[in-house]
Amino acid sequence: MTQNSGTKNTGTENTMSALTQDTLGDPDVLRVAELARPEPGIGQILVAVHAAGLNPTDWKHRGTGAFLGQPPFTLGWDVSGVVEAVGLGVSLFAPGDEVFGMLPYPYGAGSHAEYVTGPARAFVPKPAALSHVDAGALPLAALTAWQALVDNAQIGPGTRVLVHAAAGGVGHLAVQIAKARGAYVIGTASAAKHDFVRGLGADEVIDYRTADFVTEAREIDVVLDSLGGENCLRSLEVLKPGGILVSILPDRWDAVRDRAEELGVRARFMLVEHDQAGMTAVATLAESGQLRAHVSRTYALSEAAKAHAEGETGRVTGKLVFTVRP
């Protein structure tokens, strides 16, 4: 992991440095600006951000607006930091508490800044065993994997799980969560990343460039698809009767749903939700050493354009993280 220094607070008590953009476009539209520091509302906490992960949804929103529409806006849903203040009615946390969590997706974005507010119940105590960088890499991707595999697919001992893009942000955490639940895990990844995926606990790894997963992975109970489109459609072919595919991309979803019905299998599309119970489970796994985010590289907010450009290559192993405070 390459470590970079964080962003230093250059504002007053009422302002903060934050990553923002005034127009949609390529990574160069991102800039660090002085914005008003938010105040916690009813049921909210104000968090001094120490680290905040990046996810594909960040560069998608930067370029297209996606769910957020037209800028200006500050992106970021992952956050690890220290409670600075609490709003009316908050009893779970107090100033000084170390917390991590995922802001409500999609409209609660804003963690790529020195301070952010969010619902108290979007956060849980940060495990003492994790640095802020390691904790800041987990929430959105780990919750996506947990909600897909546990809440939707209800995996358990002996479940045969196929995880696509098993070295990616969601995928590498999904492999670990599935193994912690006792599943048999098959991952897809390029040959150069097979040792990494096996090191996460995968029982088998398929090189998607040289082998066809449809013939290599059979009698699968659960598929976690993060690629969408044709990959999602073809993944239905490997499922046992009654098996389930959970996808986090809606590409060609009508065709996926119709084909699933023809094959006698199930298909679900999901978007990640902020979830204190899920975050508690993630924290427990992390505290026990069964779940760790692989942080490929850290960036300061001032290096946002480089971070987004690297993320958009689609070749990052694990996660990228902004270090906001040392």
In a 3-state reduction of DSSP, which class is residue 6? coil
User: What CA–CA distance (Å, rounded) separates 160 from 240?
Assistant: 10
What the block records as the tokens of 177 is 């969560």
Predicted pLDDT at 326: 84
N- to C-terminal Cα separation, the chain: 15
In tens digits, the chain (326 residues) has pLDDT values of 333 333 444 446 899 999 999 999 999 999 999 999 999 999 999 999 999 999 999 999 999 999 999 999 999 999 999 999 999 999 999 999 999 999 999 999 999 999 999 999 999 999 999 999 999 999 999 999 999 999 999 999 999 999 999 999 999 999 999 999 999 999 999 999 999 999 999 999 999 999 999 999 999 999 999 999 999 999 999 999 999 999 999 889 999 999 999 999 999 999 999 999 999 999 999 999 999 999 999 999 999 999 999 999 999 999 999 999 98
Q: Give CA separation, 67 vs 57, 61, 63, 75, 308, in Å.
A: 10, 7, 12, 12, 18
User: What CA–CA distance (Å, rounded) separates 226 from 151?
Assistant: 17
Domains assigned to the chain:
15-138+293-323 (3.90.180.10), 141-269 (3.40.50.720)
Alpha helices (H) in 147-228, listed in sequence order: 169-180, 194-199, 213-216
Q: Give CA separation, 167 vs 24, 135, 296, in Å.
A: 29, 18, 11
Strand bridging mode 220-225 / 160-163: parallel
Predicted pLDDT at 7: 40
